[in-house]
Each structure stands twice: as structure tokens, then as C-alpha cells.
């Protein structure tokens, strides 16, 4: 992907600037700091200040499992660096993460289809209003989409290395880490693990069928 970007700077640079500009518009004009955002933020704040993964009560902090720890951990990290309840910093970081997602999506298209498809996928994702809206909301969606994209990209690399008879473990380690991060953000991230596992199982069965047919 790096080589593709280097060879097509005149395409990727303005597209990236457009992506940043679109997301900045949503962040500055329509910031999505909702009730759920404050729930995540309260857990993150208590985790940092009290060492308790919980929600603030009238008298004390009560431990909770109402939310998975992925997003509160991200908020806690941002709060520790930029200041407590600094949601604007959260949204700005999500903006850059979301633009990173666009590059990952383009890499998936490059590996599975063509370089032309990669450029089209990049442009479509950078200008997608839904992704821009998610980046401007202090919720799990931006990080979930990022790790889902990374997991799929790593899975593609791993599967292609199997087809080339040169198996690589590094892509699968990256895929596993990205899937784990997706699950820690949202419980439906587990569906990603199921989808990849089922596809790999189907691929193995298909390979055996082709091999068996060749022996007949």
C-alpha cells in the first residue's frame, strides 16, 4: 500500500485532505457526545482516578460490567494525556483513526481486486458521510470499524500466503490481535472471528475437493 500511495501522491494527498476536512466539519459543527459517551467517560474516569471499573454513584463508585472495557480504556488513555473529559481530543484522534481505516480498506481492495479498485475504495470511504459521522461521535463505532478492517486485511494477507505455499504467522497474529480488540469494544465483534474461521474452514474443504477431483 505504501508503494501505491507513493506512486499516486497526487490522488491520495487531496483525497486525504478531503477526508480530514469532512470529518472536521462534523466534529466542529455536529459533535456527538451523547449519554452513552458520558457512561463510557465516567467508567474511564473512575478507572483512572479510583482504580475501579465502575460508575459514579451518590456516595461511591459501583463496579459495573455494563460496558466492555475497550472504549473506556481508549478514553482513559486520552484523558490521561489530554485532560479529564477532554472529548474534543477524543474526536480528533478518532478522525485520524478513521482516515487510517480508509487506507486499510484500500489495501484490502488492492490485495483482492486491483490497484484501481483500491483507489476507488479509498475515495468512497474518505467521502462516506456515515464514517465521518461516526468519527464525530464519542462512541465505539470508529474504533470497531478500524479493527474490523485491520483484521480482514491481515486475514487476506494470511490466506494469500497459504495459497502461495509460503504460510506466514505474522498476519494471523495481527488478525487475532485486531479481532480481540474488536471484541473488547463490542460483543458483536465476535462475529468477525466466526466469519473468518468459517471462511478458512470452507477454503480447506474446497481445497480438499479440488485435490480429490484431480486424483480421479
Q: Whole-angstrom Cα distance, residue 126 to residue 153? A: 18
Q: Facing residues of 56 across strands?
A: 61
Of 111, 106, 149, the residue nearest 124 (C-alpha): 106
- CA 89, CA 87: separation in Å to the nearest integer? 5
Q: Show the low-confidence residues of the chain (pLDDT under 50).
A: none
Q: What is the pLDDT of residue 43?
A: 96
Q: How many CA atoms lie within 13 A of 214 on its CB side?
A: 6
The predicted structure's pLDDT at residue 216: 57
d(CA 132, CA 22): 7
DSSP secondary structure string for all residues of 7-28: HTHHHHHHHHHHHHHHHHHHHH
pLDDT at residue number 89: 96
* Crossing angle of the two packed helices 87-112 and 141-163, in degrees rounded to 10: 20
The pLDDT tens digits for 91-111 are: 999 999 999 999 999 999 999
Q: What is the pLDDT of residue 155?
A: 93
* Beta strands 61-63 and 54-56, pairing class: antiparallel
Write down the pLDDT at residue 5.
87
Structure confidence at residue 3 (pLDDT): 86
Q: Helix-strand-coil percent breakdown of the chain, rounded to 5?
A: 80, 5, 20
pLDDT digits (tens, 9 = 90+) for 41-60: 999 999 999 999 999 988 88
Amino acid at each position: 500500500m505504501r508503494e501505491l500511495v507513493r506512486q499516486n501522491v497526487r490522488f491520495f494527498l487531496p483525497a486525504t485532505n478531503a477526508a480530514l476536512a469532512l470529518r472536521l466539519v462534523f466534529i466542529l459543527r455536529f459533535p456527538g457526545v451523547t449519554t452513552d459517551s458520558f457512561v463510557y467517560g465516567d467508567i474511564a474516569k473512575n478507572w483512572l482516578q479510583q482504580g475501579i471499573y465502575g460508575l459514579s454513584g451518590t456516595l461511591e463508585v459501583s463496579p459495573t460490567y455494563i460496558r466492555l472495557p475497550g472504549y473506556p480504556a481508549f478514553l482513559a488513555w486520552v484523558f490521561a494525556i489530554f485532560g479529564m473529559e477532554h472529548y474534543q481530543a477524543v474526536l480528533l484522534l478518532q478522525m485520524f483513526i478513521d482516515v487510517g481505516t480508509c487506507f486499510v480498506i484500500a489495501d484490502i481492495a488492492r490485495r483482492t481486486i486491483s490497484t484501481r479498485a483500491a483507489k476507488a475504495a479509498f475515495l468512497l470511504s474518505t467521502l462516506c458521510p456515515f464514517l465521518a459521522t461516526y468519527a464525530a461521535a464519542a462512541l465505539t463505532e470508529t474504533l470497531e470499524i478500524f479493527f474490523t478492517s485491520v483484521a480482514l486485511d491481515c486475514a487476506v494477507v494470511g490466506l494469500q500466503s497459504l495459497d502461495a505455499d509460503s504460510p506466514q504467522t505474522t498476519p494471523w497474529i495481527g488478525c487475532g490481535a485486531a479481532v480481540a480488540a474488536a471484541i473488547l469494544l463490542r460483543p458483536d465483534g465476535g462475529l468477525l472471528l466466526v466469519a473468518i474461521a468459517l471462511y478458512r474452514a470452507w477454503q480447506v474443504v474446497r481445497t480438499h475437493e479440488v485435490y480429490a477431483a484431480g486424483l480421479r
